Structure 1
Amino acid sequence: MSDDAATPPGPAERSGPERIRALAHPVRLEILDILDRLGEATATECAQRTGQTVANCSFHLRTLAKYGFVEEAERRGRQRPWRPAPGGYDLRPDVGSSDAVRAADELALLTLERETRRLHAYYAHAHATPARWREAASMLTEVVWATPGELAELADDVAARVARLARRAPADRPAGARPANVLAVLTPDTHAD
């Protein structure tokens, strides 16, 4: 990382409202998606894929770096590529902070809107998806009876399993692997007492 890059947040800052709000922006989420898919990209490459200006993408990349979501990758000549910060990001808010909880709720709603658009796009054309990929796709809905601790443990288990696949280096990905979208939502039933 260069000297002008911000220091990533420490453990106490990882679930603060400012950090969560920094991510709650459609362009920033799109840039993170690009970096997750490509491994690294410059502001110019992000601009080409998002339809934003290079300056706007550069601003958003610096903001993401300030809050520890991305970091500078090794320079390629004069190009400054960025990559996802190691370890992914867990944005469960500090439940003692109403500001952090509200920020996390805003981010969750924005994320649900994005993922709903992706699901609609997939299922609108799923019939044209090769059979082996169509058979691998799934949608699971289930009511489970769990304590808060069990639900948190389930979330951790799912997150750990997904992280193993998401953070594989390109050289470690098996032949025929391609990006797949995962949306896992675990929420208590608001109708239950």
Structure 2
Amino acid sequence: MPDENADSQKPAEPKVRKLDPHSLRGLAHPLRIRLLGDLRLHGPATASQLAERLGESSGSTSYHLRQLAAYGFVEDAPEHGKGRERWWRPSQDGTSFDEALIYDTDPATRGAAEVFLTEIAKIHALELATWMDDAPSWPVEWRRASDLSDFALQLTAEQSRELVHKMHDLVNSYSDLPPSEGTETVRFHTHAFPRRAK
């Protein structure tokens, strides 16, 4: 007999926003990408708090947060506000990039896709460099729990796509674990790309 509670026991699927040409153009700005990433990583914040964390002016963060809100990436977090203080939170858990955007007939969309992907690559490189600098200060169990690996596999495009989806599913299966002592925010980056033999 099927378990009636099976669906309630499954981890909730993360709410992911699939980028289209319009939303991509609204997000494809280095500061907007960093603001959205910070809110997703650290939770709700004010423009002033984000400005301090990211080394920007509060006027700049406030403007770009309003732009992100206009495109549906962030929203008010009124439960955090005090008086005139405006708090922001992400509207989704993640963003999905459609590779078709790279080949869009509109040059503005292709340019926005390039800005977006370049900024994501820079953020990944910066996070990795920061970890390498900070690693000696972490306990040995966290050093052993980190990873810096690469693999070269002979795959078809379809097999590579299948493997990427399996990795994403596996990572997402850990997203709703109950809180426990000793947890830290752990960042997982995945990069998969073909290389021609020389």
Q: Which residue of 1 aligns with 2:59?
A: 55
1:37 aligns with 2:20: no
Q: Which residue of 2 aligns with 1:97?
A: 104
Give the alignment's TM-score, normalised by structure 1. Answer: 0.76
Q: Which residue of 1 aligns with 2:179?
A: 173
CA distance in 2, matches of 1:64, 1:162: 27
Q: Which residue of 2 aligns with 1:20?
A: 24
Higher strand share: 2
Q: Which residue of 2 aligns with 1:86?
A: 92
CA distance in 1, matches of 2:22, 2:140: 44
Higher alpha-carbon deviation: 145-154 or 128-137: 145-154
Residue 77 of structure 1 is aligned with which of 71, 75, 82? 82
Q: Which residue of 2 aligns with 1:129?
A: 138
Residue 70 of structure 2 is aligned with which of 66, 69, 75? 66
Give the alignment's TM-score, normalised by structure 2. Answer: 0.74
Unaligned runs of 5+ in 1: 1-10
Relative distance call for 1:120 and 1:51 in structure 2 (3 A) is closer
* Structure 1 contact 43–58 (Cα < 8 Å) conserved: yes
- How far off its partner does 1:14 sit? 4.0
Q: RMSD of aligned C-alpha atoms?
A: 2.8
Q: The residue matched to 1:94 in structure 2 has which SS?
A: helix
Sequence identity (%): 27
When the two structures are aligned, how many residues end up with a matched partner? 178
CA distance in 2, matches of 1:143, 1:101: 29
* Structure 2 contact 29–115 (Cα < 8 Å) conserved: no
- How far off its partner does 1:52 sit? 1.9
* Structure 1 contact 68–85 (Cα < 8 Å) conserved: yes
CA distance in 2, matches of 1:63, 1:153: 35
* Structure 1 contact 16–93 (Cα < 8 Å) conserved: no
Higher alpha-carbon deviation: 152-161 or 141-150: 152-161
Relative distance call for 1:36 and 1:120 in structure 2 (3 A) is same
Bigger-Rg structure (1/2): 2
Q: Which residue of 1 aligns with 2:118?
A: 109
Structure 1 consecutive aligned stretches of length 4 or more whose deviation exceeds 3 Å: 98-102, 160-166
Deviations 1:64-89 (A, max 9, x none): 22223222223423332211223411
Unaligned runs of 5+ in 2: 1-15
CA distance in 2, matches of 1:101, 1:150: 26
